[in-house]
Amino acid sequence: MECVRSGALDLGRSGNFLGKSGSTTSCGKVRCSTNLAGSTKCEQNLHGKVKPLLLSASGKARGTSGLVHRSQVLKHQHHLSVRSTSTDVCTTFDEDVKGVSSHAVEEKVGVLLLNLGGPETLNDVQPFLFNLFADPDIIRLPRLFRFLQRPLAKLISTFRAPKSKEGYASIGGGSPLRKITDEQANALKVALKSKNLEADIYVGMRYWYPFTEEAIDQIKKDKITKLVVLPLYPQYSISTSGSSIRVLQNIVKEDQYFAGLPISIIESWYQREGYVKSMADLIEKELSVFTNPEEVMIFFSAHGVPLTYVKDAGDPYRDQMEDCIALIMEELKSRGTLNDHTLAYQSRVGPVQWLKPYTDEVLVELGQKGVKSLLAVPVSFVSEHIETLEEIDMEYRELALESGIENWGRVPALGCTSSFISDLADAVVEALPSASAMVTRKVKDTDSDMDMMHYLTKMFFGSVLAFFLLLSPRLVSAFRNTLH
């Protein structure tokens, strides 16, 4: 995600409207040679097949110990029910539906694309970082200290802005993410039309313009009668899709229109055949550039998240990422590509432990082991942005070459690749029948489910860190400088 090495931290828990069709474009491709009553939950296996999981009156599952790829965090954070559509898991909101049926009016379909956003100019960097770190799904403070969220975001964003500006300056002075996402939206509209579905496409960014709230306002103005929400993140994480879904749910609590609007949310789609094949196509193409393709190590570099997200909050991101890599390699093997591969996580920041192994450390290890040819694959990104264009193409490439790797290549992000866009269109079409209304529901705070001693321990260490960040002379000095 476009978070300038993310900055997702756990302290204490160690729209743009595109109504007219547009043409498909290359979308910033770069080729480098360097989810109580009456509810149903569903259990998804590796390939996306879904079987119903019945709930008792108390809402507890019968006859199963849990949900594959449906972690506790989903239940805690937005209390969704899951319904299946073909190979996707689509989250819908379907209890005690109120509101006017959309069948009484002409159906008007909308698709909301969710992405993270990025600063378009260097002057946008600091406010973008503030929006990022002010998100409680990014910096996760204990309940007792949540009043520090915005002051802490101000300090961190001020401290990090100069370094981040250097990174954006190196890729042209801003993020290309909005432009690429707009191009993907236009391409998706065309692809849906070719599948006999007229739909208005909206883009909602989490931390920069056009914000998700702007897109939602436009959806309401346009009187959309059925909505499919499609996060542009193949794998689900609290800090990406989860954060954007939370924004949508909060709006529904206050808006009767959206409380009665049939909505289907495609939480993750890494397991779709079209996506897997599109990734395999790109990898094959870049392998062919090497003199000895069979000797190339395929190096999957995924954006990292703090380890506590997975261990304590139940984020399914790591499991989904590993499943994703297995599916892509299985596809490549079926085509006769038998190269070795590895997975590592990039963009860690802060004092907490992140998912391992780390990309920079693995690159050095591979060089020491004698790997001479390496193909980097940014598997968690579908658009080019700072973490591909600067972190991978510049920093990691240089590190790899210094570590003894002689031949470097990089698979471009999917962008507007026709097979990828067509598969997203299929996902939207398949999701529509499962759309149902969202209604207000009290969100259960995850803290109340934690063992008290476990919680107090985390709160203590998070408080110490927050105290340090707030009183650090260097941070205070940087903060004061911005006031002059």
Q: What is the pLDDT of residue 439?
A: 62
Task: For residues 470 and 241, give the distance between their C-alpha atoms in angstroms, rounded to a whole number.
Answer: 29
Q: What is the pLDDT of residue 147?
A: 87
Do 109-270+419-437 and 273-415 agree at the fold level?
yes
Domain locations in the chain? 109-270+419-437, 273-415
pLDDT confidence of residue 105: 56
The set of residues, in sequence order, having a beta carbon less than 8 Å from that of 190 and lying 6+ positions away, is 21, 22, 23, 24
**136: cis peptide before it, omega within 30°?**
no
The pLDDT of residue 43: 36
CATH code for 273-415?
3.40.50.1400
**Confidence (pTM):** 0.73
* Averaged pLDDT in 10-residue chunks for the chain of 484 residues: 47 45 44 37 37 30 30 33 36 39 69 96 96 84 86 92 96 97 98 98 96 95 97 96 91 88 96 98 98 98 94 95 98 98 89 90 97 97 96 97 98 98 98 83 40 48 48 46 45
Residue 70: the pLDDT is: 31
DSSP helix, strand, coil percent of the chain (3-state; round to 5): 45, 20, 35
**Rounded to the nearest 5°, which phi and psi values hold at 9?**
-125, 155
Say if residues 136 and 6 touch (Cβ distance below 8 Å). Answer: no
Main-chain phi, psi angles of 70, to 5 degrees: -125, 90
Q: Is 109-270+419-437 a CATH 1.20.58.220 domain?
A: no
pLDDT digits (tens, 9 = 90+) for 284-342: 999 999 999 999 999 999 999 999 999 999 999 999 999 999 999 999 999 999 999 99
pLDDT of residue 136: 85
CB 409 within 8 A of CB 33: yes
pLDDT of residue 178: 96
